[in-house]
Amino acid sequence: MSSLRLLMASALLPLAGVAHADTYTWDWSGATPPNAAISNVAGDFDSVHAVFDDAAQSLTWRVTFADQLTSGLTFALSDGPNPKGHAGELGLVYVDASNLGNIRTSTYAYNGKNLINSYKDGDGNQSGDQTPDRIQSIYDMASPLRSASVYDDGTSRVFDLVFDTTVLNSHSPLYPGSSTWTGVAFGEKLGLWMHTFTALSSSYSIDGYLTGWSYQGHGWFDGRDQSSVIPLPSAAGMGFAGLVLTASRRRP
């Protein structure tokens, strides 16, 4: 193999790896976006910043409210459709910030209902409460949280969370849906079912799973087909790729 071909082959290996490891970003602020509905009853939504790294299995979820009312939220994500109705395909994350000094999260398979009861009813396709499909408790050693901070900044409240999605995204659902399980992830499109709560009061079993989730106010940010962004390769990577392309044009 010539030195030129060797250079090209060596350069393409890392580039090929990058092609299969994408990071998706979704940012929103301001007016209600198309294909979405917002209720500010349980906190005035100011902005949302979301990043999903499918290689690192990491989800950054940062929600800023223009007031300081919100004491908890739940969310389910998809790669485009509104999560409602997609039982056994997606995870539902409960974020309990009733005590700002002790943020607690637990995860369950979303039952697809337009209700906040997946923690006690695992299958929305059957009547009555079915055994919940529990994934991670607040005490789980494989914690979904890499970092968590809910704090007040001036007149705003910020939920700044980073999740390790490895366990959640590799879960085998107790009640499989009609489509493949994706957990909590998104791609070039994002579907969102996020609900917010004021005066949240929660209770947990001895093993750290929810037994109660009551509240005073209830708001939401629901939507489908929100466009996300795939970041361009780094400048260094682009430069290396350019070097390979330039070299490939030079023939002896």
Question: Between helices 235-249 and 3-19, what is the axis angle to 10°?
Answer: 140
103 versus 4: the higher-pLDDT residue is 103
Contact at 8 Å (CB) between 186 and 26?
A: yes
Q: Output phi, psi for 52, to 5 deg.
A: -120, 125
Average pLDDT estimate for 17-25: 69
Question: At the topology level of CATH, where does 23-229 sit?
Answer: Immunoglobulin-like (2.60.40)
d(CA 47, CA 240): 36
The sign of the CA dihedral 96, 97, 98, 103 is positive
Q: Read off the amino acid at residue 237.
A: G
- As a whole number of angstroms, the distance between CA 111 and CA 102 comes to 27
Q: In the predicted model, what is the mean pLDDT of residues 69-88?
A: 98
Contact 100, 150 (CB under 8 A): yes
Domain-wise residue ranges, the chain:
1-21+233-252, 23-229
pLDDT of residue 188: 96
Instruction: Assign 204 to helix, strand or coil.
Output: strand
**Residue 75, Cβ neighbours under 10 Å: how many?**
26
pLDDT band, residue 231 (cuts 50/70/90):
confident
Give the pLDDT mean for 210-235.
90
Q: Looking at residue 20, what is its pLDDT?
A: 52
- 192 — alpha (psi -120 to 50), left (phi > 0) or beta? beta
pLDDT at 55 over 90: yes
